[in-house]
């Protein structure tokens, strides 16, 4: 039976997509590089560096310049994070976390974000999550399975015990590569390869997930 839930953070627990969009847009404008809200959608789930490389579209820059751009982007993003509160939790998250606690299900967050700890803290849900980890704890970023396997290990569970919640194609791919069940949240064009696609966590209860993924248990 399923015993653990591993959440992606951005786009699953909180809507930081807009913050990321605005900070990348500001950077792109400052550098005279074309960027758009639509281009930002394709960056969901990618690490900061991979996002920048996509935005640069093959422009070759010295490593020192790349580092400066990454740091500047994060400085802008941090000033948004400073303003974050529990109001930035996506609908249904608080209720679902409480439901998981009551059902005795272990919980982890496995994010591509270096800011995962501070964001979880700002959202006020640190005490509801058993394990917090990001791709910098492992060798390879999503779509490699590493961060999900590491999160499961930290929970003391096997891949078969866990279900992942993801909003990005690279994350769904990573969960499948880890041989975990995966619920895709949002746009089926992004998460269509998941075992089940839902619009979001609003109204979702653990018994729904169990009935869908473990019928008969």
C-beta closer to Mg ion: residue 4 or 11: 11
Segment interacting with ligand BG6, rule: CB under 6 A, options 111-119, 155-163, 173-181, 202-210: 111-119
Cβ atoms of 168 and 147 closer than 8 Å: no
What is the CB-side half-sphere exposure of residue 40 using CA atoms within 13 A?
Answer: 17
What is the CB-side half-sphere exposure of residue 117 using CA atoms within 13 A?
Answer: 6
* Nearest residue to 48 (alpha-carbon basis) of 29, 83, 76: 76
Contact call for residue 169 and Mg ion (CB under 5 A): no
- Which partner, ligand BG6, Mg ion, none, binds residue 51 by CB below 5 to 8 Å per kind? ligand BG6
CA-to-CA separations, 144 to 45, 93, 123, 174, 176, in angstroms, rounded? 12, 26, 27, 5, 9
Q: How far is the CB of 9 from ligand BG6 (least distance, A)?
A: 6
- Of the residues 8, 130, 146, 167, only one is catalytic, namely 8
Contact call for residue 141 and Mg ion (CB under 5 A): no
Rounded to whole angstroms, the maximal C-alpha distance in the chain is: 57
Tokens of 37: 């809200």
Segment interacting with Mg ion, rule: CB under 5 A, options 37-45, 72-80, 102-110, 190-198: 37-45
Q: How far is the CB of 29 from Mg ion (least distance, A)?
A: 24
Q: How far is the CB of 71 from ligand BG6 (least distance, A)?
A: 11
Contact call for residue 20 and ligand BG6 (CB under 6 A): yes
Alpha-helical segments (H) within 136-205: 146-155, 169-177, 188-191
C-beta closer to Mg ion: residue 103 or 118: 118
| Number of other residues whose CB lies within 10 A of the CB of residue 210 | 16
Of 22, 114, 153, 210, the one binding ligand BG6 by CB under 6 A = 114
Q: How far is the CB of 66 from Mg ion (least distance, A)?
A: 23
Contact call for residue 84 and ligand BG6 (CB under 6 A): no
C-beta closer to ligand BG6: residue 25 or 210: 25
CA-to-CA separations, 41 to 8, 10, 24, 65, 165, in angstroms, rounded? 16, 12, 12, 24, 18
Residues that bind ligand BG6 in the complex, under the rule CB under 6 A: 9-11, 20, 43-48, 51, 74, 111-115
What positions carry a catalytic annotation?
8, 10
């Amino acid at each position: 039976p399923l015993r653990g839930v591993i959440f992606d953070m951005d786009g699953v627990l909180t809507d930081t997509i807009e913050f990321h969009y605005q900070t990348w847009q500001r950077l792109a404008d400052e550098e005279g590089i074309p960027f758009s809200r639509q281009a930002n959608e394709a960056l969901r789930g990618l690490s900061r560096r991979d996002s920048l490389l996509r935005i640069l579209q093959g422009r070759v820059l010295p490593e020192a310049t790349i580092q400066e751009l990454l740091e500047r982007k994060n400085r802008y993003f941090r000033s948004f994070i400073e303003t974050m509160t529990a109001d930035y939790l996506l609908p249904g998250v608080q209720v679902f976390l409480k439901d998981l606690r009551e059902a005795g299900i272990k919980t982890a967050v496995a994010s591509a974000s270096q800011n995962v700890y501070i964001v979880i803290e700002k959202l006020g849900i640190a005490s509801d999550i058993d394990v917090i980890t990001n791709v910098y704890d492992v060798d390879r970023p999503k779509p490699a399975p590493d961060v999900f396997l590491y999160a499961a290990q930290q929970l003391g569970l096997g891949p078969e015990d866990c279900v992942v919640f993801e909003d990005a194609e690279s994350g769904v791919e990573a969960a499948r590569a880890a041989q975990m069940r995966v619920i895709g949240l949002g746009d089926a064009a992004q998460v269509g390869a998941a075992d089940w696609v839902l619009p979001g966590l609003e109204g979702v209860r653990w018994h729904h997930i169990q009935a869908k993924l473990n019928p008969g248990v």
